[in-house]
């Protein structure tokens, strides 16, 4: 499905839904294709007690982008599921919105690897996330 445009990808992602956790965290996709996906998340409501974005919140944004991108690549009748994720946090956002940009490192028939760079409103990198997804046949409806 590498020929999917951003508008087609956004339609697909909207129809599929991002899941309850991503919705609770205020994550929104602004670009969505196999080659590049972008999403935002508000800092407010996703912080540690000291007012910094929680590291787990960065990971939720990264996994939302990476897993959804892998599922778009997998195509109809296939399902991508996360098997590995890691994150390195290098800066802390304290206000505004953070933006995640997801790009593929490897797009195979059975494995995908994506890198997600999350930046603050000033364009400073806050976290770098790498996710690996396994692609398999989707369960048959009963």
* Residues 63/19, Cβ–Cβ less than 8 Å: no
Is there a catalytic annotation at residue 63? yes
Query: Sheet holding 37-42: strands in order across?
Result: 28-32, 37-42, 97-107, 111-119, 125-137, 78-89
* Residues 98/43, Cβ–Cβ less than 8 Å: yes
Measured over the CA atoms of residue 11, residue 76, residue 105 and residue 135, the dihedral's sign is positive
57: how many CB neighbours lie within 10 A of its CB? Answer: 24
Active-site residue, selected from the candidate residues 28, 44, 63, 115: 63
Active site residues: 63
């Amino acid at each position: 499905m590498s020929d999917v445009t951003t508008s087609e990808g956004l339609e697909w992602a909207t129809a599929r839904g991002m899941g309850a956790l991503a919705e609770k965290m205020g994550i929104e996709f602004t670009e969505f294709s196999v080659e590049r996906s972008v999403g935002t998340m508000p800092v407010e409501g996703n912080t540690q007690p000291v007012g910094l974005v929680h590291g787990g919140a960065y990971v939720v944004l990264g996994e939302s982008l990476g897993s959804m991108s892998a599922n778009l690549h997998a195509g109809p009748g296939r399902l991508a599921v996360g098997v590995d994720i890691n994150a390195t946090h290098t800066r802390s956002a304290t206000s505004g919105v953070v933006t995640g940009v997801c790009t593929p490192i490897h797009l195979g028939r059975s494995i995908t690897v994506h890198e997600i760079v999350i930046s603050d409103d000033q364009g400073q990198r806050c976290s770098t996330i790498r996710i690996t997804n396994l692609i398999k046949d989707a369960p048959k409806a009963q």
